[in-house]
Structure 1
Amino acid sequence: MIPILKDKFAWKKWMSASILICSLCFTAACSEKGDNRDSTDAQEQADLPASPASDSTAVIDEQPGRVYYEIFVRSFYDSDGDGIGDLNGITEKLDYLNDGKPGGDDLGVEGIWLMPINPSPSYHGYDVTDYYEVNPEYGTMEDLQHLLEEAHKRGMKVIMDLVVNHTSTEHPWFVESASSLDNTHRAWYKWEEDLNIDPSGLSAAGSGPAWHEKNGNHYLGTFWSGMPDLNFDLEAVREEMKKIGKFWLEQGFDGFRLDAAKHIYEDLQSDRSPETTAKNVAWWQEFRAAMNEVKEDAYIVGEVWENSPVSIAPYLENAFDSGFNFGLADQIIRTVSSEQNGGFLIQWNRNYELFAEKSQGQFVDAIFLANHDQNRVMSQLSGNKDHARMAAAILLTLPGNPFIYYGEEIGMKGSKPDEEIREPMLWSKNSSGSKGQTTWEQAKHNQDDDAVNVEAQLTDPSSLLSLYRNVIEWRTGIAALRDGAVEDYSVEDDQVLSYIRATASEQVLVVHNLSSEAKEVSLSEKEPHFSAILHQTDDQASLQNGTISLPPYSTVVLK
């Protein structure tokens, strides 16, 4: 039997002791802004906690989760016919996301992440010109309030993208900072001439220059010249950013996704160090404490784009509730592409042990397949719909808060440049003339498949959208799938991935057939026993005499 543990970490300790630990093998990735990402090295492996001996006494460490949906407002739904998505458009489509009722044909997500909604000169919004207003192309503060109210009526949380590492060069602060040496806002940004340092260093977010010329001086812009970095060594900057965070929580937001969270002080390649990480974490702890004054349960998830758990873990100590799990996203894509489980749980179980240790057991993993900085899942999978279905089934049966990038649920394609991974959401076959369809960007992908739209898939029980909807419904209806810890349940076939999800009151077994061949899987005679199928993605799946019959590319959940 799975032990009931008293110590809050003992579940993860017991789980670690139950399987052989091997080294992590994550690949590096890069962001839209050219961020270099460190792979896990031997030293970081040495820094991971050792797996302790089994403890037979303690509490299963549950990880309450909810499914979030990431929305690029400009591309989602246009309520006023100008071709640009807007806040009222999202409100109109809330019933597609979650109508607040059990069952039905809504997707069933329980939270929304809005990409930047502040005024900005760029289409993407990551260079802000006013932190206290809504982008007029997206609507008004009243439109935002209406969206928040309607989402909350449906039991949905809403978090906003908060971009505090840098502003736009058009922000009044920067305009003033660049205007003269004695301006009040001069020190709000980093100027080489003021700091008397060498402006030749390379950006920590890429391989290009970090310093840029303006009026004969040089300012720091880690991502590009249009995004000057703020100076967080200045108390006035830190106080202003805390004030901004509190303002948006007071407007009704439930938390934040924090952009470029590790780059507050990691500006140059030469800045990469434990000392820099410590400064970053100290700032975010200060920010977290300030947000707690307004909303103690505000959900804060940070973008720390590293595949190394050692790099992410420090931010979970009294700063973030979650850090996006980029390594796991890569691992899911590799697993479904190769159709091999590759020791799936073995490779990331120690990550959880480290995260639990740093967060005092309070972290919630933020899991996903791809986001607005990466090629879309369907493009990464070369259009293989079976692999896309398996990726979704794995994502939505793992612990944490799964994040779905808009259009992922209908299999939209998209490869860089960035505009092409943020193309308009496709609502119907004749998208160009349909109500609500955004047209700000001419679509270059998804033109060769009439089924890649919501209308075509909504009533098709075999569609990718139906699979997302069904597995999300499983998740919300089964406490062990939604909140439970995870335990390895190994089978001899490398093309089968299986694991137990467990709370203190229930446990279920998840089994995925990753391959194109039917599989027969014999269940262990040891405790716990699983004797009935709760859910299945293929009606041909069956369980007889302790053996599961799995059709190709299928998933079952057993009790």
Structure 2
Amino acid sequence: MKKISIFLLGLMTLVSCKDEPRQQVQEEVVQEERIEPVSNEAMESAVIYEANIRQYSPEGTFDAFTEDIPQLKELGVKVIWLMPIYPISETKRKATGDLSVEDIEDPEERKKYLGSYYAISDYTEVNPNFGTKEDLDELVATAHENGMYVILDWVANHTGWDHHWLEEHPEYYTQNEKGEPVDPLNPATGESWGWTDVADLNYENKELWKDMTAEMKYWIDEHDIDGFRADVAGEVPTEFWEQALPQLEETKPVFMLAESEEKELFHNAFDMGYNWEGHHLMNQLAKGEITVKEWDAYMKKIDTTYQEDDYLMNFVTNHDENSWNGTVRERMGEASEAMVALTYTIPGMPLIYSGQEYDMDKRLLFFEKDTIPKTKGKMWPILKKLGELKNENPALHGGKEAAAYNRLTTSADESILAFERSANGEKMVYIANMSDEPTEFTLELEGEFQVYMGKQDFASDKPDHKFSPWEYVVLLNN
């Protein structure tokens, strides 16, 4: 925690058998400077960063990541989401393909498979490969000093097969006809999802609710954590999250992110969810599989689906997308930069995934050690400029009191996406050619605008425009 020394002058009288002069002495009083508690206001202008500690550095440690936290401030990051930091079960540990570690005979080959972050053996310990709890505390303190909140990835749906509850509380788990714990099953088919390295938890048991909530509260009370990202949040009863939140907030306000779009989760449990549908539409736009009309229909849909103060996390990549579906470049190609800018300019909160800021163009290994690149190239200055805009301009507010979103009509609305965001007299306009063909179009803008980034020769005072494939511009009214 940052220490601030305040020097107070006091008078001390020294008493002896003779009169002695009073001497002025300095007394140092040390007080702690704490980050302001989580608030809706802070999240309006926030950028969230997903930190993959294992792969972030060659060391794969808390300390190595902590060193770079001040740099993340340059990107406008206000929330750091740590992927699971807990010990990983060894029993049934995933290796490669459909194999588990037990299927591999060569002991040296076995060693390289570190398992899934989401197969947790203990919710209140840290993975020793990452460091110690004291190292984590230093990470959190450094984040707070730099004006950032830290949330932990929480996996409430299942545990690894080494978790002590399997012996102490087998009744906490979903069991088959033989009374044996099972891995998570698809409720529609009753078949396994293939997550064989984890055991499914049974939330019909209310004692589990108490223990799980207590495990979450531990990190807030003992390590000053600011909230949680809930893995497969919709697979856990909404009522569990709703009863947990008031208990978590007995200590301080927390920020809750659901890996889900289910609107019921936002009512009394979560602040933000995943914009999965929007993300998939971005991929489809980039591949030419849909036109801007489908995007417009989606924006109208979320207006009517969600309550006014619900909001979503926007992203072009994350740990799942990168490892299993491909890099940003693989999925979005030449449209990548326009899509990144889109995630910042639509309502919601933009996500940066570890390595994205360094132009990472490889799929990170999921069960083995890997490392992101650490050379600043094209993307760093783009994210820095977008982050500054998100942090400072109320027209980009995207939380519970999001700035207005208004679609602007053009003469080529199947290819050209144009919209305005506005709040407190500030306006931002985003215009992009969402196609792989040069496109000419007309667009009437009311007011004077200057180019903030993107197409530098854009003339806002003229109605006729021509954009190259995937070209975009961000305009500000002052």
Q: CA deviation at 1:89?
A: 0.9
Q: Distance in 2 between matches of 1:69 and 1:522?
A: 37
Aligned partner of 2:52 in structure 1 is 72
Q: Label 1:423 to 1:201 Cα distance change in 2 as closer, same or farther (>3 A).
A: closer
Q: Label 1:495 to 1:538 Cα distance change in 2 as closer, same or farther (>3 A).
A: same
Is 1:240 aligned to 2:211, yes or no? yes
Amino acid corresponding to residue 554 of structure 1 in structure 2: Y
Q: Distance in 2 between matches of 1:62 and 1:500?
A: 22
Q: Label 1:337 to 1:193 Cα distance change in 2 as closer, same or farther (>3 A).
A: closer
Aligned partner of 2:173 in structure 1 is 189
| SS of equivalent residue, structure 1 residue 543 | coil
| SS of equivalent residue, structure 1 residue 480 | helix
Alignment deviations for residues 360-386 of structure 1 (CA, whole Å, 9 cap, x no partner)? x33221121222122468646437653
* More displaced stretch, 389-398 vs 514-523: 514-523
Kept in 2, the 8 Å contact 1:367–1:403? The answer is: yes
| SS of equivalent residue, structure 2 residue 123 | coil
Aligned partner of 1:475 in structure 2 is 390
Q: CA deviation at 1:243?
A: 0.8
Q: CA deviation at 1:90?
A: 0.9
Kept in 1, the 8 Å contact 2:292–2:415? The answer is: yes
Aligned partner of 1:542 in structure 2 is 459
Q: Label 1:340 to 1:231 Cα distance change in 2 as closer, same or farther (>3 A).
A: closer
Q: CA deviation at 1:404?
A: 1.8
Q: Label 1:398 to 1:423 Cα distance change in 2 as closer, same or farther (>3 A).
A: farther
Q: Label 1:226 to 1:384 Cα distance change in 2 as closer, same or farther (>3 A).
A: closer
Aligned residue among 338, 348, 358 for 2:299 = 348
Aligned partner of 1:413 in structure 2 is 361
Q: Label 1:158 to 1:200 Cα distance change in 2 as closer, same or farther (>3 A).
A: closer
Q: Label 1:533 to 1:550 Cα distance change in 2 as closer, same or farther (>3 A).
A: farther
Q: Label 1:225 to 1:521 Cα distance change in 2 as closer, same or farther (>3 A).
A: closer
Q: Distance in 1 between matches of 2:220 and 2:458?
A: 47
Aligned residue among 368, 387, 411 for 1:492 = 411
Amino acid corresponding to residue 475 of structure 1 in structure 2: K
Amino acid corresponding to residue 464 of structure 1 in structure 2: M
Aligned residue among 219, 222, 229 for 1:257 = 229
Structure having the higher strand fraction is 2
Q: How many residues align?
A: 404
Q: CA deviation at 1:151?
A: 0.8
Aligned partner of 1:126 in structure 2 is 118
Q: CA deviation at 1:192?
A: 2.6
Q: CA deviation at 1:232?
A: 1.8
Q: Distance in 2 between matches of 1:252 and 1:200?
A: 34
Q: Label 1:63 to 1:496 Cα distance change in 2 as closer, same or farther (>3 A).
A: farther
Q: Label 1:419 to 1:465 Cα distance change in 2 as closer, same or farther (>3 A).
A: farther
Q: Distance in 1 between matches of 2:337 and 2:427?
A: 24
Alignment deviations for residues 464-491 of structure 1 (CA, whole Å, 9 cap, x no partner)? 3322222222222211113413121121
Q: Distance in 1 between matches of 2:164 and 2:331?
A: 45
Aligned partner of 1:172 in structure 2 is 164
Aligned partner of 1:157 in structure 2 is 149
Q: CA deviation at 1:281?
A: 1.4
Q: Distance in 2 between matches of 1:317 and 1:492?
A: 40
Aligned partner of 2:473 in structure 1 is 555
Is 1:363 aligned to 2:310, yes or no? yes
Amino acid corresponding to residue 370 of structure 1 in structure 2: T
Q: CA deviation at 1:409?
A: 3.0
Q: Label 1:226 to 1:263 Cα distance change in 2 as closer, same or farther (>3 A).
A: same
Aligned residue among 360, 364, 388 for 2:336 = 388
Q: Label 1:367 to 1:534 Cα distance change in 2 as closer, same or farther (>3 A).
A: same
Aligned partner of 1:531 in structure 2 is 448
Aligned residue among 173, 178, 185 for 1:203 = 185
Kept in 2, the 8 Å contact 1:188–1:230? The answer is: yes
Matches within 5 A, 1:316-331: 316-331=266-281
Matches within 5 A, 1:212-227: 224-227=195-198
Aligned residue among 258, 261, 282 for 1:332 = 282
Q: CA deviation at 1:390?
A: 1.2
State which structure, 1 or 2, has the greater radius of gyration over its C-alpha atoms: 2
Aligned partner of 2:34 in structure 1 is none
Matches within 5 A, 1:301-320: 301-304=257-260, 312-320=262-270
Aligned partner of 2:111 in structure 1 is none
Q: Label 1:205 to 1:303 Cα distance change in 2 as closer, same or farther (>3 A).
A: farther
Kept in 2, the 8 Å contact 1:206–1:223? The answer is: no
| SS of equivalent residue, structure 1 residue 285 | helix
Q: Distance in 2 between matches of 1:395 and 1:205?
A: 33
Q: CA deviation at 1:492?
A: 1.7
Alignment deviations for residues 471-519 of structure 1 (CA, whole Å, 9 cap, x no partner)? 2222222111134131211212132211111224433222123346665
Q: Label 1:283 to 1:194 Cα distance change in 2 as closer, same or farther (>3 A).
A: farther
Q: CA deviation at 1:204?
A: 1.1
Structure 2 unaligned residues grouped into runs of 5+: 1-40, 90-113
Aligned partner of 2:256 in structure 1 is 300
Q: Distance in 1 between matches of 2:427 and 2:331?
A: 34
Amino acid corresponding to residue 422 of structure 2 in structure 1: A
Aligned partner of 2:432 in structure 1 is 512
Runs (4+) of structure 1 exceeding 6 A deviation are 199-202, 205-208
Q: CA deviation at 1:74?
A: 0.3
Q: Distance in 1 between matches of 2:449 and 2:440?
A: 16
Q: Label 1:336 to 1:164 Cα distance change in 2 as closer, same or farther (>3 A).
A: same
CA RMSD of aligned residues (A): 3.1
Amino acid corresponding to residue 489 of structure 1 in structure 2: L
Kept in 2, the 8 Å contact 1:66–1:400? The answer is: no
Q: Distance in 2 between matches of 1:171 and 1:383?
A: 37
Q: Label 1:293 to 1:202 Cα distance change in 2 as closer, same or farther (>3 A).
A: closer
Q: Distance in 1 between matches of 2:128 and 2:448?
A: 57
Counting aligned pairs with the same residue, the percent is: 26
Aligned residue among 288, 313, 334 for 2:245 = 288
* More displaced stretch, 149-158 vs 480-489: 480-489
Q: Distance in 1 between matches of 2:188 and 2:142?
A: 40
Q: Label 1:190 to 1:399 Cα distance change in 2 as closer, same or farther (>3 A).
A: same
Alignment deviations for residues 192-251 of structure 1 (CA, whole Å, 9 cap, x no partner)? 34769xx999921897844xxxxxxxxxxx653321122222222110111111111222
